[in-house]
Chain A
Amino acid sequence: MTLARGRGSASEARGARFLDPGVLQRIGNLELVAQGVVEGFLHGVHASPHVGQSLDFAEHRQYVPGDDPRRVDWRVLARTDRFYLKEFEAETHANVTVILDRSRSMAFGSQEISKLDYARFLAASLAYLARLQGDRIGAVTFDSSVRDFVPCSARHLDRVLVALDRSEAEVAGELPTALTAMAERPRPRGILVLVSDLYLEPEELRRPISLLRAAGNDVLVFQVLDPAEIAFPYEEALTVEDLETGERLPITPDRMREEYGELMKDHVEGVGRVLSRSGADHVLMDTSRPLDLALARYLSARRHRGRRGRWASPS
């Protein structure tokens, strides 16, 4: 017991270490990062790595000709004299696609890690976690258009990691165009995890998210921001150059900070509001915070939606 606790403590410590973005930045290898993050996270929460892959009952449905008679719930038949089939969650392996925004603005970083690196770690960790659960995983990276596409497969973890690893923030982004293109491409429905800083008007998100949702996908959006983008800590007069457009603006930060903060807050809330109305989850991630929050939010959302059966039968 003591030993087990001891091992658990060590694992926790190791997991906590790997969850620190600053430490992750120094590891470099994306697979190791994802493995460390996920295992550390799972040990930390004392959860089974096989969450979701179980024989948990999901729902009953009426027998239709062609169904396997062996799946008929004989108890229900005895009580009601009707043929119902019993379905389980394990049978609903999801297609999980991580969508990484590699636009130029993601290159920014005031801390030890840039937004793009943080987003890559986050996407890789989610993919690794999804793979542990038996989900089929795929990836899409985009800036002004789709740059890499990895279709969902149970064996595509390596390809996903490679696609994420070679992503560079070099071109200005066009999120609505990229998402719309994805929505219009026929593919199996599943879980779409969008990782982006979402520098666009919230209303511009409505249509592409709605299209993705209408295609039967569940959409989970991680909005990644640097602490400096939120707090705007600059003091002396300076010139700001927009990473996306190259536009330069002379500013006096100390006089603009408060209003900037208000605008940023309104923006984040507006994004959350639009996504919520579109049926998508919105999680704001600060690059100074560990990744476990993101994983927990993912699992929480998956469980919640899994129980509602949304993975298998989108509304």
Chain B
Amino acid sequence: MGISFLTPLFLAGILAVAVPVAVHLIRSHRGTPLLFPSAMFLRRLPVRSVRRRRIENWPLLLLRVAALTLMAFAFARPVAQWGPDPEGGGGEAFREVVVVLDRSWSMGLGDRWERARRAAEEELGRLVSPDRASLVVFDASGIVAVEPTLELARLRTVLDTLAPGWGASRIGAGLQAASGILEASDRSRREVILISDFQRSGWDSGPRDPVPSGTVVTPVDVGDGPVGLVAVPEVSLQHSYLEGRQRVHPTARVMRVGEGTPSQARIVLELDGQEVESRVVDLPAQGGVAVPFEPFLLPDEGVRGLIRTDPATPLYGGRVVDPHRFTFSPREVLSVLLVEGGGTARGIHLERALTAGGDAPIRLLRRSPESLSAADLQEVNLVLVNDVPLPGGELGRVLRERVAEGVGLLVVAGAESRPESWEAAWDGFLPGRPGSVVARSPTQGGRMTQVDRDHPIFLPFADGDGRGLGAPRFFAYRDFSSPMASQGTEDRAPVDVRVRFDDGTPALVEGMAGRGRILLWNGSWSPVWTDLPLHGVFVPLAQEMTRYAAGRRDQLPARVVGQPVEARTLLEWVDPEGEASEATGLLVGPQGRGVPLTLAGGVPPVPEVPGFYELRMDDGGEGAVFAVNPDPAEMDLARVDSEEVALAVTSGSGGGASDPGGDPLVAGVGGLGDGPGASRAERERRQGAWRFLLAGVFLLLVGETLLAGRRTERPGARRMVRS
């Protein structure tokens, strides 16, 4: 058993034992003086101080010295330690402390980062050897910067090298990383020091997993204080055609947040490094304003652009607000052969959706099953079979050959598609065959769930709640089964389910046939089976599915810092009809560093700084450029209560009832004294020696009073004056 002290500086108080000794030896005659009628005789006598330099009352002196010594020990807060643990592991008495530090973009505002660093230093300073500590930093993801260690100096060194990044805050990600450390720890006293500016966007998004049971979460909020900024969080790029050339209409959303920011700002549009237009706009006190710019003709090679505030540094909050970057490439006109039942209005929604946007880049060729010919299949990029049976016979064979050559096939298996009548040749070609009709509640219907949001089709829906993908109801669709689902055969790529209905039935299935891409929508796009065509999401969804199945690349969307770059998405965008599985490239960031990109696997690279990223293909082919911007969520400076966060991650951690009299920020405390959940009780018990020491001091002082009183009461030692 060993003893350490929480506040060892108080041990210096032991020096105070010199006081009673000095009093005893030197100044013992100075107390309450004896009032005497006259000192006229005493004045004539020589003062003999020899006697004062001797200890006259050893018990009294020892009592006083002991009382002072015990008092110094009590204030030094001794901590009992059981079981010496030179390696710092396995000891139950010591702490496992994880400092979780937010390094998102907003932490660079004002003095937040400096305060956060100081707070971390202070927390490290409170550790008592051999407490073990580790450091987790997080923005959109959590990283263990320093594994659990006893060397606090190493932690401090790493801490000094850190700086706020460009990523968005995801508090849950940081806590997840911390939980990994705590779950692996063999120590019962587990603590998380969560240092953040507690942006609400960082709490609302991301995981909210509870920390391991018994963990004490101490939030340190550095987000208070005035900060503000003017930023361009979003740019919308619409396009049109003028005399056969594509025009781009950029519109920026400019946002003003916080107090003290300017009410007017100059917004600048730059294209390929040249300032082409600027606008001075009045900014509302809070919120954003749309700033439209004049359309510009798109060069054949595409454009890199950005929209920024001028000056680029808002000078408030001490952080440069990065401009919003974008890229735009010319769109190719897509030729789509729409095969659907003639004479009905069933496909009118689809037709309008595909041709929406005026000078749309989709050129639609409409045919009925009866009028369809092999010649129609020669000059198209995509064949869209909407709610009619797939062609059989010769026509079917030609279609399969065209698909194998690279023409896309989108099949909508509605009520009139009659999949049971499809010839067997389609079975090995399609990713599966739709089955019988599944009827859902005519009022509630089913919903789309399990959307593969990283898929190119759904990238435009990646923000927020999927921009309404959950809203459409589906009253009927088809059962579906495919032995090839999620597994490949020797000559087929695996079949992927991109969307499912809420009962688990696949809604959108993707497969490949040769170089052609096949999408199978396992239901109808007519208002009979679903109200999807009546929702706003239908137009972009239909267009995205059409473009994707046709293998035509769209604009490579801008990404945000911290968003992983899926190699497949990028490589397929570069070479949609090529052998993407064999393509490799080098992803070069704005700082000039490159990361190999292959479809074979590996951890997808995560952009950490904003800028333009360029994919250079190893085979010298055409690459791609995309923009990476700061996460606009970071520019929302609304904050969440730090205690609310701590409570949320500690209260749900499976421990059942929480400790009614204990720390509310202790996760899953089942009761005092019960295993790991009793860390607070253990801590109190180990640090509770000061109470006994103070009780000892009290007893010693009582003894001292009695002893000193006895001496005062001795005959002849009376000190009394009557008046």
Contact = CB atoms under 8 A, between A and B. Distances in A.
Interface stretch (A176-184, A215-223, A255-263): A255-263
A255 B42 contact: no
A102 B299 CA distance: 119
Nearest to B30: A239
A248 B718 contact: no
Contacts of B42: 240, 249, 251, 256, 260
Given A170-B723, A243-B36, A255-B48, 8 more contacts: A107-B721, A110-B720, A114-B723, A233-B715, A240-B34, A243-B38, A248-B33, A250-B30
Contacts of B56: 236-237
Q: Using C-beta atoms within 8 Å of the partner chain, give the interface range for chain A.
A: 35 or more
Given A234-B716, A236-B711, A241 B723 contact: no
Contacts of A228: 716, 718
A116 B716 CA distance: 21
Given A170-B723, A260-B41, A264-B41, A241 B49 contact: no
B44 interface: yes
Contacts of B47: 249-252
Interface in B17-40: 28-31, 33-40
B45 interface: yes
A247 B718 contact: no
Contacts of A149: none
Nearest to B714: A235
Interface string B38-62: 1111111101110110001000000
A116 B721 CA distance: 11
Interface of B: 28-31, 33-45, 47-49, 51-52, 56, 711, 714-723
Contacts of A110: 718, 720
B39 A245 contact: yes
**Chief secondary structure at chain A's binding surface:** mixed
B710 to A, nearest CB: 12
A74 interface: no
Contacts of B714: 235
What are the 8 closest A-B residue pairs judged by CB atoms, nearest first? A233-B716, A114-B722, A105-B37, A242-B39, A241-B33, A199-B38, A263-B41, A107-B723
Contacts of A107: 721-723
A168 B711 contact: no
Interface string A161-184: 000000011100000000000000
17 contacts: A106-B37, A228-B716, A229-B37, A233-B717, A235-B717, A236-B711, A238-B719, A239-B34, A241-B39, A242-B37, A244-B38, A251-B47, A252-B47, A252-B48, A252-B49, A254-B51, A263-B41
B41 A247 contact: no
B717 A251 contact: no
Contacts of A240: 33-34, 36, 39, 42
Contact of A237 (B36, B39, B51, B715): B51
A170 B721 CA distance: 12
B721 A243 contact: yes
A239, A245, A260 pick with most chain B CB within 10 angstroms:
A239
Contact of A250 (B49, B716, B719, B720): B49
A250 B715 CA distance: 20
Nearest to A263: B41
A280 interface: no
A281 interface: no
